[in-house]
Amino acid sequence: METKVDITNEKIDLLYAEMEKHKQKSGPLMPTLHSAQRIFGCIPIEIQKIISKELDISVARINGVVTFYGHFSVVPKGKNIISVCLGTACYVKGSGGILDTVSHELKISVGETTDDGLFTLEGTRCIGACGLAPVFMINGEVYGNASVQMVKDIIAKYKT
């Protein structure tokens, strides 16, 4: 199933307002893309075209930049984003098992979104909470010293 991107006029106005600010800086593209990702949750081609016009950069170049960085995405993500840390400290302490559990529970693999649009599973780079390894995040909130049972419980909580 494809989750629809919510492009409203309000949001587009917000993007224009942010772009106005960023245009004052040298190298305005990255800050603009960060704003767009934050406002729309992704940067689809429609939005890239708007940015292209405003900043006078070709869509091809913008698309190249958007697809280069892991933080930007062209398709919308699920309502809840589960990111399992795959940094070394977490890996050594068994985050691979945590990732498998989530993947098994939600029946999706890394980078995919569930059919109901509720969850997206991501493997993330080290988030620097190595003292609490293994670690995973749901919507930016960090859960440390994770166990298989713990992830199962938390996913169940978010499902309801």
Count the neighbouring beta carbons within 10 Å of the beta carbon of residue 118.
15
Asked if 112 contacts 120 with a C-beta cutoff of 8 angstroms, the reply is yes
**CB of 20 vs another protein, minimal distance in Å:** 17
Q: Given the complex with another protein, which of 14 and 126 has the nearer CB atom?
A: 126
**CB of 9 vs another protein, minimal distance in Å:** 26
Q: Given the complex with another protein, which of 8 and 88 has the nearer CB atom?
A: 88
Q: Amino acid identity, residue 112?
A: E
Q: Given the complex with another protein, which of 118 and 130 has the nearer CB atom?
A: 130
Q: Given the complex with another protein, which of 10 and 56 has the nearer CB atom?
A: 56
**CB of 147 vs another protein, minimal distance in Å:** 8
Residues contributing to the site for another protein (CB under 8 A):
25-31, 33-34, 57, 64-65, 68-72, 86-89, 91-93, 97, 124-133, 135, 140-144, 147-148
Q: Given the complex with another protein, which of 50 and 130 has the nearer CB atom?
A: 130
> Which residues have a Cβ under 8 Å from the Cβ of 36 and sit 6 or more positions away?
15, 43, 47, 51
State how far the alpha carbon of 119 is from the alpha carbons of 62, 66, 71, in Å: 28, 22, 17
Return the beta strands (E) in 11-118 as ranges.
80-85
Residue with tokens 């772009």: 19
**CB of 5 vs another protein, minimal distance in Å:** 19
Whether residue 134 is preceded by a cis peptide bond, meaning omega within 30 degrees of 0, is: yes
**CB of 25 vs another protein, minimal distance in Å:** 7
